[in-house]
């Protein structure tokens, strides 16, 4: 049994006058021409920020954004637009700081007014961040009293700000924020002693991206629904013609292992029985419905068909626990979004515990306006899947209290 996760409720601020909190957030939001196009991760961070402010803390926020080279400032990856959104939501001044590695930064923090917060410029402007560099961590932690991690989407990475900075603080002065606590409670709790039937829905492009989670759920789920491009590798293994659809030929033997494990454990594998296809992979292409599990040689599958949608939805609605990771098709294109939408609607109608496992699934259910109709939408794609696989995430391990 894993040690207990330390939370904000475990922090003791007595003896500190306006304590300084190093707050790691996941503000890795999409930007277009310098404008934030999805504020989900920003609004998800607000409860922890406000909790700390109400306790009289001085808050130093930090995050990464995108994939800069790590050799210094790059305008397109600046957190400046994010800081502006945070300021608007919080009604406080957010000071963006790019010189936080310079001598004297800790003295600047000590002078913060109650209506001010600091946001450190993109951590990944420094290559030491992703290397987990301990000297880099020491500089980041200088002058800080407490460490709070509310960046669930990065907890599966051992970046300096996720692990080495936390280790600069004694255990009693580090903990998870409200978002991380919520993620752990849902993702670990839902499968601790789940009530049957449990249904896992997997989609997306590649079987290879989901090998471990597919194998894990053959011992957890009663039903495993397979959609998206990965379904065509399963169908090919089972002898179906999949036309020009994407197939991972080198993963066919692995598919066989997964199917045999599911059969041995009496897990029902549910695959598409019809498809929405096209002659080419292009947004404006004409959708063509194939009414059988087989796809003609000149077509490629880009979504599940109407009969598959109905079968999938029936299994979802009758379940007690459902987890969804990966869209059923190219949901970004209206002509091929119907399958993913039907899964999202079935989740919204399910009376059991429903979890959307981050990434494209989270983007889809938000786009369909149904995020508030499910039990939990994870903010971390990779992190949520690794947690469900049973892995101990590096960013969580350092927040565990000894039992």
**Average pLDDT for the chain:** 93
What average pLDDT does this structure show over 67-90?
A: 95
Task: pLDDT band for 2, please (50, 70, 90 cuts).
Answer: low
Strand, helix or coil for residue 155: coil
pTM reported for the whole predicted model: 0.86
Length of the chain, please?
Answer: 403
CA 86 to chain CA mean position, Å: 20
Tens-place pLDDT, residues 319-374:
999 999 999 999 999 999 999 999 999 999 999 999 998 778 888 998 899 999 99
What average pLDDT does this structure show over 174-189?
A: 92
Strand, helix or coil for residue 380: coil
Residue 1 reports pLDDT greater than 60: no
Tens-place pLDDT, residues 262-310:
999 999 999 999 999 999 999 999 999 999 999 999 999 999 999 999 9
**Ordered alpha helix ranges (H), 142-210:** 178-189
The answer for residues whose C-beta is within 8 angstroms of residue 95's C-beta and 6 or more apart is: 112, 116, 117, 118, 119
Any idea which of 174-183, 186-195, 345-354 has the lowest mean pLDDT? 186-195
R_g over Cα of the chain: 23
**Ordered alpha helix ranges (H), 111-160:** 134-141
pLDDT at 403: 45
Domains observed in the chain: 4-182 (3.40.50.1260), 190-388 (3.40.50.1260)
Please name which of 272, 243, 269 lies closest in space to residue 256, comparing C-alpha atoms.
269
Please name which of 58, 71, 63 lies closest in space to residue 121, comparing C-alpha atoms.
63
Tens-place pLDDT, residues 372-401:
999 999 888 788 888 888 888 999 999 998
The dihedral of CA 185, 191, 195, 200: what is its sign? positive
Higher pLDDT, 115 or 292: 292
What average pLDDT does this structure show over 207-225?
A: 89
Any idea which of 14-28, 194-208, 216-230, 260-274 has the lowest mean pLDDT? 194-208
pLDDT at 206: 81
**Ordered alpha helix ranges (H), 302-337:** 306-317
Q: DSSP string of 196-237?
A: SPEEEEE-SS-SGGGHHHHHHHTTT-SEEEE-TTHHHHHHHH
Which residues carry out catalysis?
41, 206, 359, 382
Total Cβ atoms within 10 A of residue 102: 10
The first and second tokens of residue 337, run together, are 């979004």
pLDDT at 379: 83
């Amino acid at each position: 049994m894993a040690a207990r996760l330390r939370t904000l409720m475990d922090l003791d601020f007595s003896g500190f006058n306006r304590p300084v909190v190093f707050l790691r957030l996941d503000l890795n939001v999409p930007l277009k021409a310098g404008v934030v196009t999805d504020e989900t991760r920003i609004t998800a961070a607000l409860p922890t920020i406000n909790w700390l402010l109400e306790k009289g803390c001085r808050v130093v926020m930090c995050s990464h954004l995108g994939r800069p080279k790590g050799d210094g400032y790059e305008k397109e990856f600046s957190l400046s637009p994010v800081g502006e959104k945070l300021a608007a939501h919080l009604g406080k001044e957010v000071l963006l700081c790019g010189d936080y590695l310079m001598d004297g930064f800790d003295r600047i923090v000590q002078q913060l007014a109650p209506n001010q917060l600091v946001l450190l410029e993109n951590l990944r402007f420094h290559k030491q961040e992703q290397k987990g560099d301990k000297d880099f961590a020491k500089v980041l932690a200088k002058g800080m009293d407490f460490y709070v991690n509310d960046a669930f989407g990065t907890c599966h990475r051992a970046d300096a700000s996720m692990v080495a900075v936390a280790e600069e603080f004694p255990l009693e002065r580090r903990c998870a924020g409200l978002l991380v606590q919520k993620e752990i409670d849902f993702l670990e709790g839902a499968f601790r002693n789940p009530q049957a039937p449990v249904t896992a829905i997997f989609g997306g492009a590649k079987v290879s991206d989901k090998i471990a989670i597919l194998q894990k759920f053959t011992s957890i789920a009663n039903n495993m629904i397979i959609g998206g491009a990965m379904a065509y590798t399963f169908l090919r293994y089972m002898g179906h013609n999949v036309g020009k659809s994407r197939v991972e030929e080198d993963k066919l033997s692995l598919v066989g292992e997964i199917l045999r494990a599911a059969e041995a454990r009496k897990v029902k594998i549910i695959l598409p029985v019809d498809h929405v296809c096209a002659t080419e992979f292009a947004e404006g292409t004409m959708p063509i419905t194939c009414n059988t599990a087989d796809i003609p040689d000149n077509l490629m599958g880009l979504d599940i068909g109407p009969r598959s949608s109905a079968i999938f939805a029936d299994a979802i609605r009758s379940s007690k626990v459902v987890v969804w990771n990966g869209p059923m098709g190219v949901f970004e294109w209206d002509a091929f979004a119907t399958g993913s939408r039907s899964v999202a609607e079935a989740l919204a109608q399910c009376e059991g515990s429903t979890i959307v496992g981050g990434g494209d699934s989270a983007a889809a259910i938000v786009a369909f306006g149904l995020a508030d109709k499910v039990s939990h939408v994870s903010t971390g794609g990779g992190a949520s899947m690794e947690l469900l696989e049973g892995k101990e995430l590096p960013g969580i391990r350092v927040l565990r209290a000894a039992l």
